[in-house]
Each structure stands twice: as structure tokens, then as C-alpha cells.
Amino acid sequence: MTAVPTTPATATAGAAAPGSAGGRRRLRGRYLAVLILAAWVLLSVVLKGRDTLALGGAELTPLHTRLNEGMDAIDAGRNSNPLFLYFINYIRLFLDESVTFVQALISQPSFGRPVPVVGWLGVTGVATAVALLYGNRKVAALTAAGFAAFGLLGLWEESMDTLALTLTAVVLSLAVGIPLGIWAGLSDRVNRVVTPVLDVMQTMPTFVYLAPLTLFFLIGPASATVATMVYATPPVIRITAHGIREIPVNTLEASTSLGSTPAQALRKVRLPLAKRTIIVGANQTIMAALSMATIAALIDAPGLGKTVLKALQTLDVGTAFNAGLAIVIMAIVLDRVTSAAGRRVEAERRAGRARGPRARRIEVGLVLAAAAVLVYLSHVYVWAAKFPGEARLGSYVKQGAGAASEWVQDTLVTYTDALKNLVTYGLLNPFQSLLAGSPWWLVALVVVALALLLAGRRAAIIAGVSLVLLVLLGLWHDSMVTLATTLVATLIVMVLGVVAGVWMGRSGRVDQVLRPVLDAGQTMPAFVYLVPILGLFGATRFTAIIAAVAFAAPVSIKLVAEAVRGVSPTAVEAATAGGSSTWQLISKVQLPMARAGITLAASQGLIYVLSMVVIGGLVGAGALGYDVVAGFSQYPLRGKGLAAGLAIVVLGIMLDRIMRAAAQRAAARPASQ
Amino acid sequence: MAVSRMAGLRVSALVAGAGLLLSACGGAKVGETTDAQASGGGQSGCGTFNLAVNPWVGYEANAAVIAHVAEKELGCKVVKKDLKEEVAWQGFGTGEVDAIVENWGHEDLKKKYIEEQKVAVELGETGNKGVIGWFVPPWMAEKYPDITDWKNLNKYADLFKTSESGGKGQLLDGDPSFVTNDEALVKNLKLDFKVVYAGSEAALITAFRQAEKQKTPLIGYFYDPQWFMSEVKLVKVNLPEWTEGCDADAAKVNCDYPVYDLDKIASKKFADSGSPAYELVKNFTWTNDDQNTVSKYISEDKMTAEQAAEKWVNDNPDKVKAWLPAAAG
């Protein structure tokens, strides 16, 4: 999913302030915080098990029942509400037709032919041509190799189905998202309205709205497209708005003083300057859309996700991995091509017009002609339409991955079991009993007090409101269990993030080796590696933590590496010249100066961990994740599932706001002294 | 800059040239080789048959065999839709799903879609008997023979302690799609156990597989027919016998699960359409052994569902003949 700040505001929040000791006030704050924590531990022992508001697996509160009835009412009104129905129906038709059209072009037999209009050679040719024209030769080669790999893995048709759905969803997301992002960039009021909506869209688990979506958009491509768009549109809106905002004031003033109208300023100054950032937003939207491939398959979305889910039914890790690998390859190709396009836009803007228009025109013409020939061939000849060969590579991958998974499960299980027990008994269980075992009002008091102390009054109010909401949703106990697991996972993510991130930030070679691994961790669907990690750690909360870490750590590592690399070389040189050891250099110079980036890595890591709560519910984490899954699976539990989804959103927003305010405060304090 | 541009041009020209060359060599053309039988082997008049495929292998076996017969014998265009049960039932209302061919109970959904909305109808049993209950891996039943009686479970509770069960024995539950009374059962039978939710079938099967391999204790919710039973034959723990009405009040359940007669559901629209596929689904019935055979082809022999169905249909022509509508047979 999103690899770059989905909350760019944080990036500006903490302008690194290493400052000498932040004064007495800060020290006093620390003592107070420790005191509060100590009091909490003491009281929790005394009051253990009281007012924990636990709710059994199948128990419902009146609110849950009412939510269920509400959803039933919508269901019943579907056929009697013409306005609603016509509106939704037209959108559905449009979406269905769009996806089916792209499928007819590249993936499904169509127009009475046994094969799609354009075969493998044509698709590969066009994709390579696009990569060459908008990116560079290196990414063009990568694109050609990547598309060939789909065929060699034996997954050409499935890959094209996924590509068709992803591309349609992405195009529509950009069509909606870029204008909205520009608007939010120009108007503070719009931005304020849009931000919480985007927060909800990104943190609300897909499982919650997947089943209801099929009531409106029916089973098929339209529902899958909408589900994908809900998750994939926010990044481009946020990042576009950010890009429009960060344009230097004096550039704008210059254009205004030259007499341009706001519309002209937008077209001539803001948009060209923000173009590169907008492409970064598009890149993030593509990644987010692709990450929905597996989940959308739960409502019959065509493509690789189906292969993964089918394989999971028979615990066929090899086949699932093979399909997961195709998804990873697709993600890496799309990522590298859009990144190269972004860099090229930037370079051309800096250099004015880099190439003569005539030479460019000839190049475009030739490349397009070559692609057209390939498309024609693949339309007419069987060898270019259907991928030839036996897909040997695919069967090797399947066998290899299957055998590896089995070997790992058989040989490592004693050690991994010990590790699981160590972390669970040593850290997770005590922490959970503190959060979920104390009376709710005690926990709420402590959290609000800590928020007030570390993050200020506004954050404390948000925390208070959020905690009351959790109680009202009837899921306090489950929320606290989930919170404990989430915080432990985030802790592990940050340890990994700092260690690997510093290592990567300091050495280009390490970066080169680690980066593809991190990309794979981020884009490989969790469903692929659930079976091996279940074999190693059992159906436990720890397994859920491992899955969350596998997904969230890459983002944090990349962000920390970026921050360490961003530390000014002169500071590093000065320290080295002053005789600092490597360790001193890291701990005294690089880490403190990269503090803003590390804070960002922590907040992003947390959001990513939260987005894995539902996957955790599938592997034994229980609590909110399980509630959401159960709501998706059982009719009487729908209302509770929705409430659990809302609880996850509330947790996410609360933690995000507290962390951001705390980071801002920590950065601002030395200056205010 | 200039050099690289020239190189780019040359590459493009090369590719174009090579393409033209290849096209001259030619090869088989699309459309020339299309097989004639693809356009319809059986009678027309069936049209499109939308078959829901719920996400477990046993269901897939039913669906694959029905789809195979519908396509080959009745000339239907079968559209399989991979859906969870709840979403599949919703499809009756929206007209997107014609039939569900292995239904486990779901009284709540029957009430909503059959009685209240009247968009679905029952089509009788599949012939498969669904057994739900608590199971232990075979090594445990061998080592502790009396563990299969629920009265002895408390004696062994300590064995089943895990990091998740808070000092009690762990009873592992699986996919939330399945009906479970386990929390109430534990309470009403006064067992020193805690229900831990594995959350998915994959998690449950992996847990049992590892328990048998590593000889670690495990007790959990499971069911039959299930392909995993042919890999590891789990042993059922006997709870107090089920009697009519003993599970009427969900909070007071203190008996075993009933044996489920798995059944088929179709949309009202499909039932009224007169499609031969409807007759086929209605007539379809087979045994647990039949289903397990096809499931084994899929899960262990790694056949595709289509291959597995074809093999079984070829091996059992008589059974298939009995399902066909009178006109076609």
C-alpha cells in the first residue's frame, strides 16, 4: 500500500531540533508521565478485572442490533427508491462496461474471438513503448521483462485481468482525485473538510463495506472497482493538495504582480510546478489499488487475487506464492515506470525543453509504429496472442516455494514457538492485561492525562472523545486488546526501522540489496505468507504481529533511510573530522538530525500496522479484527462488524493525532524556551 | 544526449523491423484453429447459469461437477462466482446468483431471503451429511484414549494451555462463517477452557496439521466432509448427545451439534425460468465419499476443479444420468 507519507503534514511538523536539554519544564513533564504510568500499574493490580466492558464473541449491544436493522432497511429500500436506484445503477453500468471493455482488449476472449483483441506480444509492446516514451530505457527493459514474466509464470490471463481492473480503478481515481486535490490545495476550508473523510476511507477496513457494496453495485467488476477506488483515491488527493500548497510564496507573488488571474496562476504556475508531486500521488494510488487485488477477489473480482484465495483453501503455498510474485512484479514495474516519469518531468522542467521537438516527434513516431506492429501481430497470429510455452518457470516457483514453506515450518517451529512465548508472556500479555484488564475509566484517564502532558490540550480532547466513542460502540475491551497488539507491533516496526533504516541510509550498496526485498514485503499479499507463519507461530496474536510487521516495517525502514540520507553532509564531515567513532556519528549526529523523518516513520508504521488488524483477525488475533471478519461472514453480526470497523478508525485517528501533536511539540519546545 | 537519442531510434527501428520480419514468417492465425465444439455441444435453451462458489473445497467439488454436467450435457453457459455465503445469498435478491449448491444450515438467511423477501427457494438435500464438533489430532486419541469423552476434558485442560488462553485450556475455533455455540458450551458444560478464535479455515487446518506433525496437544472446532480429513483423520470428541430442541436457546446450549443435512438453494427467478440447469441442481445428490473423492483430486492431486469434475463424471456415468432432466436424458 502507500509507501510515501499519506499524511504529508507530519513531514513539516518536526523540523529537526536536536537542541540541548529542553529545559526544566520538559524534565518535569517526563517525571509526571512516569508517575502517571506507575500509578496506573498499581491501580490496575488493585482493580483488576473490574469494569473491563468485555463482550463475548456472539454477544451484541443494542447499538449493534440497530446498525444491523439500519443495513436491512437500506437493503429493503433498494428496490423502492427510484432516484437512488437509477443514480447508482448508471454508475454501476458505466463501471461494469469500462472494466469489461479493458478486459476485452487485453485479458478475456471477446468479440467472438477465442482470445482477447490484443495478445501478449501487443500488450508487452505497448507497455514497453509507454515506459520508453515517458520514462527511460532502463525502465522500458524492466517493463518488457516483467510482462514476459507474467507469461512465464503461467499467469498471463490472470495478470491481465488484475491489470485491467487496477488500471480502470486508477484512471477513475485520478479523474476524481486530482481535481479534488487541487481544490483542497487551494482552499483551506475544503482541506479541513476532506482530511477526516480521507482518514476514514484509508483506515476503515475494506471487509466492512465489501458486502454492502454488492447490494448497490451488484456482484462483479463494478463493486470491485468501487472498493478499490475507496482505498486508492485518498493518496492522490492528499499528495496533490500537498504539492499545490508547497509552491513557494514568492513565485506566486511574482506571477500575481505580473497581473495574472488566480485561474492563470493555477494553470501557468501552480500546476506545472506541482506536476512532479502529482505524479508521486498517482504512483501511490497505483500501489494502493494493486494492494486491493486479493481482497477484491472476495467479491468475485477477476485476476491474480482469485488464484491466491483459491490456493489458500487447500493451503497450497506454492501456487499462492506464484500468483503473489506476479503481483509483486506488477507493482515494481508500475512503481519504477511512474517514478521514472516523475523524475523525467522534473528534469525537463529544470532544463527548459531538453530535446528538439522534431527529434522527439520522430522518436515517438518510431516507437509507436513498432508497438502498433506488435499489436497487429498479436491480434492476428496465435503465437503472439496466446503466450507460448509450458510456463515452466511457474511450476519451478510453485514447487520451490511450497518446499521452502514446508521445510521452514518443520525445522524452525521449536525456535519460533519459544520466540512467540517469550514476546507474548514477557511483553504482550502484561501490556494487554494493563490496557484491557483495568477498568475502562482508569485507562481513559491515563490516556487523556498522558496526551495532555505530551501532546497538548487539543490532542487530549481528541483522545477523550475517541475513548468515549469506543465505549459507546460497545467494543471497549476488544479495542484495548487490539490496541495492545498494535502498539507492540509498532514498537517492533520502529526497532527494525531504525536499525535497518540507518544501515540502509549509510550505505548505497545495502540500499540496493534491501530495496527489492522491502518492495516485495510491501506488495506481496499477506494471504500468501499466512500459512507458513501460522505453521511457525500458531493461530495467535503474535502471528498477527508478524504479519503486521512484514507489511509495515518496509515503509518505516525506507522513511528512516531517506531521513538519514537527508542529514547534511557537512554535519557528518565535521563530526568525522572531529574524531567521532561510527557509533558516535550515528547516535549523536545522524539520528538526532533525522528526528523528523523518524517521527514520520513511526506514525506511518502505526497506520500500516492498523491496516493489518483485519488480517490479524484471520490468524488468531481475535478482538476487533475478528469482529470485522465475523461481521463479513455472518448475517446477525453485520452490525457489530461495522461497529468494529468504526472502532479501528477511531483508534487510528486518535493515535495519529496524539503522535503528530507530540512530535510537533517536541520539535517546537526548544525554540520556545 | 544526442548519442543516446540516436541509440533509442536505432533500437526502435530494430524492433519494428524484426516485427515485420516475423509477420512475414507468419504462423497459425487466430480464428483458424478454434475448435468447433466450443460453440455448443448440447441443446440450446439453457442460457446462462450463475453458480455461486463458496470458499471451501467441498463446495467447489459440488459446483465443479454440476458446472461440468451443465456445460457438457445441457449446453449451458456456466458463470461461476467466487463468493462468501452471506454475499452469495444477497445475490438471490439482486438476481446475480442462480444457485447455492452446498448450504450449511443458515436458518437466519433462510428466514430473510426465503420467508421474508421470497427471492429464494429450497431445492432439497445434496445427500452430504455435515458433522460439526470438537476434534483432536489422532496421536492424542491414541495416547489419551479417554479424551474423546467430554467428561474427561477438564482432566486434560492443562495440556491445552497456550499463550492465548489465559491460564485455561485452549479450544480453537475457526472461520467465523460457521455456526458455533462453543462459548456457551464451555460455560454450560463447566469446562475449564477458553475459546480462542483462529479466524480462518486456513489457520485452523494449519494448526491441526502442525499438531499432528509435531505431536503438540490441540483441541478445536472442525467439520466433515473436509479435504483435510483425508490427510489427517481427526478424532471427534463426544459431547452430550444432541436431542431435538436442546440447542433452541443459544445461551443455554449444552449438547453436541446436530448432523446437518447439507442442502441446495436457488433463486426464485431461476426456479421459474424452466432452465434445464434448474432441474439438474434439483436432482443433484451424491454421498460424502463422492465429494471427498473430488475434493481429494483438487487438494492433494492438485487438479483444477474442472479436471477433477471431468474425471469423476467419466468414472460415474450412471449417477450423472440420474440427475439429468427427463427431456435431456
Q: What is the pLDDT of residue A595?
A: 80
Q: What are the phi and psi torsion angles at B97 (to 5°)?
A: -125, 135
Cα separation, A378 vs A442, whole angstroms: 68
Any idea which residue has 496533490 for its cell?
A240
- Nearest of B285, B257, B308, B322 to residue B101 by alpha carbon: B285
Q: Higher confidence at residue B8 or residue A535?
A: A535
A629–B199 C-beta distance less than 8 A: yes
State the DSSP H helix or E strand holding residue A51, giving kind and residue range, or none if neither.
none
Cα separation, B121 vs B264, whole angstroms: 9
**CATH class of the domain whose range is B130-260:** alpha beta
**Which of A68, A138, A155, A300 is the best substitution to test chain B (most B C-beta atoms within 10 A)?**
A300
Contact (CB, 8 A) for B223 and B216: no
User: Residue A654 to residues A280, A376, A494, A609, A627: CA-CA distances in angstroms?
Assistant: 27, 55, 19, 14, 20
Is residue A274 pLDDT above 50, yes or no? yes
Any idea which residue has 451429511 for its cell?
B129
User: Residue A256 to residues A86, A184, A259, A270: CA-CA distances in angstroms?
Assistant: 46, 20, 5, 12
Per residue in A50-91, pLDDT (tens digit) is 787 787 767 788 888 888 888 877 777 766 776 666 788 888
Averaged pLDDT for residues A120-130: 92
- The strand ranges marked E within B151-259 are 169-173, 193-197, 219-224, 235-237
Q: What are the phi and psi torsion angles at B132 (to 5°)?
A: -115, 145
Q: Is A528 on the interface with B (CB under 8 A)?
A: no
Q: How many CA atoms within 13 Å lie on the side-chain side of B183?
A: 12
Cell of B120: 429464494
Shortest Cα distance, chain A CAs vs residue B326, angstroms: 32
Between A and B, how many CB-CB pairs are < 8 A?
A: 217
Question: Which chain A residues contact residue B26 at CB under 8 A?
Answer: 381
Cα separation, A233 vs A429, whole angstroms: 38
State the DSSP H helix or E strand holding residue A210, giving kind and residue range, or none if neither.
helix A206-217
Q: How confident is residue A22, by pLDDT bands cut at 50, 70 and 90?
A: low
Query: What is the dihedral angle through the alpha carbons of A331, A334, A335, A341, rounded to the nearest 10 degrees?
Result: 180
Domain-wise residue ranges, chain B: 43-127+262-323, 130-260
- pTM > 0.95: no
Amino acid (one-letter) located at B82: D
Any idea which residue has 466432509 for its cell?
B225
A421–B30 C-beta distance less than 8 A: no
Question: Which chain A residues contact residue B83 at CB under 8 A?
Answer: 219, 298-300
Per residue in A629-670, pLDDT (tens digit) is 988 888 888 889 999 999 999 999 999 889 888 888 777 655
Q: What is the pLDDT of residue B26?
A: 56
- Nearest of A389, A281, A378 to residue A338 by alpha carbon: A281
Contact (CB, 8 A) for B46 and A595: no
The DSSP secondary structure of B20-53, one letter per residue, reads HHHHHH--PBTTTS--GGGG-SS-SS--EEEEEE
Query: What is the dihedral angle through the alpha carbons of B50, B56, B61, B65, rounded to the nearest 10 degrees?
Result: 0
Opening angle at CA A374, ends A369 and A380, nearest 5? 125
Is residue A21 pLDDT above 80, yes or no? no
Kindly indicate whether the ipTM for this predicted assembly is greater than 0.85, answering yes or no. Answer: no
Which percentage of chain A shows pLDDT scores above 70?
A: 93
Q: Could you give all domains of chain A from N- to C-terminal order, each with its CATH number? A: 9-68+398-672 (1.10.3720.10), 81-116+160-306 (1.10.3720.10)
Q: Higher confidence at residue A474 or residue A29?
A: A474
- The residue in chain A having the minimum alpha-carbon distance to the alpha carbon of residue B295 is A314
According to CATH, what is the number of the domain B43-127+262-323? 3.40.190.10
Q: Which residues of chain B have a pLDDT value below 70?
A: 1-27, 30-44, 327-329
Cell of B271: 426456479
Q: Give the A window 245-284 contacts with B, CB below 8 Å.
A: none
Q: What are the phi and psi torsion angles at B224 (to 5°)?
A: -140, 140
Q: How confident is residue A394, by pLDDT bands cut at 50, 70 and 90?
A: confident
Q: What sign does the dihedral A345-A349-A352-A357 (CA atoms) show?
A: positive
CB neighbours of residue A428 within 10 Å: 23
A620–B8 C-beta distance less than 8 A: no
Question: Which chain A residues contact residue B23 at CB under 8 A?
Answer: 373, 376-377, 380-381
Helical packing angle, A623-633 and B85-94, nearest 10°:
40
